[in-house]
Amino acid sequence: MDDSELGSASGSESGSVSASSTSRASDELVVNVYSHTGEPETGFDPLLGWGCGHVNFEPLIQSTLFKTDDEGAIINDLATGYSASPDGKTWTVNVRDDVKFTDGEKLTAEDVAFTFNTAIGSNSELDMSNLENARAVNDTAVEFNLKEPQSSFIWRLRYVGIVPEHAYKKETYGASPIGSGPYKLVQWDKGQQAIFELNDNYYGQKPYFKKITMLFLDRDTAFAAAKSGNVDIAEIDITHANQSINGYDIISLPSSRAFGVSFPMQNNTGKKSLTGDTIGNNVTADIAIRKALNTGIDRKAILDGVIYGKGDVEYTGVDQRTFGNPEARIKDSKPEEAIKILEDAGWKDTDGDGIREKDGTKAEFKLYYSSSDQTRQALSVAVSEQAKKLGIKINLVGTNWDEIYANQYSSAVLYAYSSIDTFNLYQQYHTKEADDTYRNPGLYSNPVVDGYLETALRTSDQEQAIENWKLAAYDGNTGFGPSADATWLWLVTMDYLYAVDETVDMGTPEKNSGSDILGNIYEWTRTSATDTAQK
């Protein structure tokens, strides 16, 4: 990612600023929207992560089998429909027969099968570990054979761009991709920009913008580019939330990016992980500590004070999702109630030092956060200061991710989760052994919750899956949410912030689409027919 000035970060061969507002027409768009993922090192290859990394987004060049509508519901794209076998292990997807790749070759079920078979083992972010194989039944139907039933497999079908079997070579495809999406890549200046032009043969609704220049700038440089009028859309840092730019609107789009504190759920009994890391924490393993923090912390104050109100309070990590359970949430900002929870559980400040203790153990623990992220630092500080008023001392440790992972089973960690894939919910709360991943860092283990998660994952009925995802959070008695086991202290869901040229009309962005602002590029127009130089 290039932190230099816009002039050198987006120059053409002649050295001029190709993104200049004085040279682009009304149907040309200059954007810097994926600064959170950065320039794709391996190019624009969906089998190596383009469009479907930890933050999923519109790949532009390739089509996907399914998309999501404005409300976040899954709808057809290349697919015309799908069905799952009663045992949930065989999915059959029907594919359109009127689609061509940009080289003129027809897209068939063979290309779909090839894409997914090649994806198996090609990139860990794609997680095709449960796919046995894909098989073209005929030109317009492909069969996916799973090792185990997996309701969340629909999200794999949602985000993987389809590549052409006849023209795919792993070594070269990323730099010169052929796809069937709304745009085609015509130029890639590594470290600077990528230029996309409209695919005239696109089968769907054709976008108004015929050319998109995507810059690879960090958020601060993108903000400066907007102030200079050199971009139409720029993803900017939350610290610019209250600033203004002449000729631009500063908009915030909701996302699934939830920030929360993970709690070690086991006591420290001397157990070690396979890599020798300590497991357990005698303070956070006490549900009274976790309940008190969930009840006493003022999330709204953190939302307003740390991220300028650009987001929402968060209680379960998936409040905004269709599979979130409102019953799992609690009423927070109740310090008196939180103190009573602690007192009733035996956590009292008997020596007057401001820190409660129980059976000789101080209500004190470490909270790790990434020192390279100012937002996580600020959130951690806010939690620590509020906890102090409850008699709980939280010692902050800002460091690198290697050290964080080494301490996640014995200390609290300020994490962020962005995926809308339901499989991540399973990974987050299903019983596991200590390993080298950040899934379920508290080593939470609840057989009842495991049962709900397994049912949700293994059913072939999406409605039944949603119901069980909700029950895993809270069933009226138990669950991972703050109403029950309070496994995390979820804090806020943070919006993505963009500077948008006031002449650009983005239509109706998809619900919780902050990380995928181009997902509805088909709806975008420019309200003025004149060049942006005249705005």
Give the lowest-confidence range in 215-224, 249-258, 290-299, 513-522.
Answer: 513-522
pLDDT at 298: 98
Q: What is the mean pLDDT of residues 31-39?
A: 79
The total number of structural domains that make up the chain: 3
Q: Are residues 219 and 230 in the same domain?
A: yes
* Number of helical H runs and strand E runs in the chain: 12, 23
Q: Are residues 347 and 469 in the same domain?
A: yes
| Burial (Cβ within 10 Å: 0-12, 13-18, ≥19) of residue 390 | buried
Q: Are residues 396 and 360 in the same domain?
A: yes
Max Cα–Cα distance, the chain, nearest Å: 79
In a domain, 470, yes or no: yes
Q: Are residues 136 and 207 in the same domain?
A: no
Q: Are residues 306 and 327 in the same domain?
A: yes
Which pTM does this prediction carry? 0.85
Q: Are residues 119 and 133 in the same domain?
A: yes
In a domain, 437, yes or no: yes
In a domain, 416, yes or no: yes
| CATH code at position 350 | 3.10.105.10
In a domain, 432, yes or no: yes
Residue 286 has pLDDT above 70, yes or no: yes
In a domain, 52, yes or no: no
Integer-rounded Cα Rg, in Å, for the chain is: 25
Question: Mean pLDDT, the chain, as a whole number?
Answer: 89
Token pair recorded at residue 76: 């057809």
Q: Are residues 463 and 317 in the same domain?
A: yes
- Residue 279 CA to residue 366 CA, distance in Å, equals 14
Instruction: Give the residue from 111, 129, 163 where a domain finishes.
Output: 163
pLDDT in tens, 98-107: 999 999 999 9
Token pair recorded at residue 498: 């963009």
Instruction: Give the residue from 460, 477, 492 where a domain finishes.
Output: 492
Q: Are residues 384 and 484 in the same domain?
A: yes
pLDDT in tens, 423-472: 889 999 999 988 878 889 999 999 999 999 999 999 888 899 999 999 99
- Residue 63 CA to residue 44 CA, distance in Å, equals 13
Q: How many other C-beta atoms can be found within 10 angstroms of the C-beta atom of residue 307?
A: 24
Token pair recorded at residue 305: 């004070």
| Burial (Cβ within 10 Å: 0-12, 13-18, ≥19) of residue 400 | exposed
Q: Are residues 297 and 438 in the same domain?
A: yes
Structural domain span for residue 370: 256-492
Burial 459-470 (b: 16+ CB within 10 A, else e): bbebeebbbbbb
- Residue 440 CA to residue 253 CA, distance in Å, equals 28
Residue 22 has pLDDT above 80, yes or no: no
Residue 8 has pLDDT above 60, yes or no: no
Q: Are residues 410 and 525 in the same domain?
A: no
Q: Are residues 355 and 320 in the same domain?
A: yes
| CATH code at position 65 | 3.40.190.10
pLDDT in tens, 393-413: 999 999 999 999 999 999 999
In a domain, 177, yes or no: no
Q: Are residues 202 and 147 in the same domain?
A: no
In a domain, 440, yes or no: yes
Strand partners, 146: 131
Residue 13 has pLDDT above 80, yes or no: no
In a domain, 433, yes or no: yes
pLDDT in tens, 355-371: 999 999 999 999 999 99
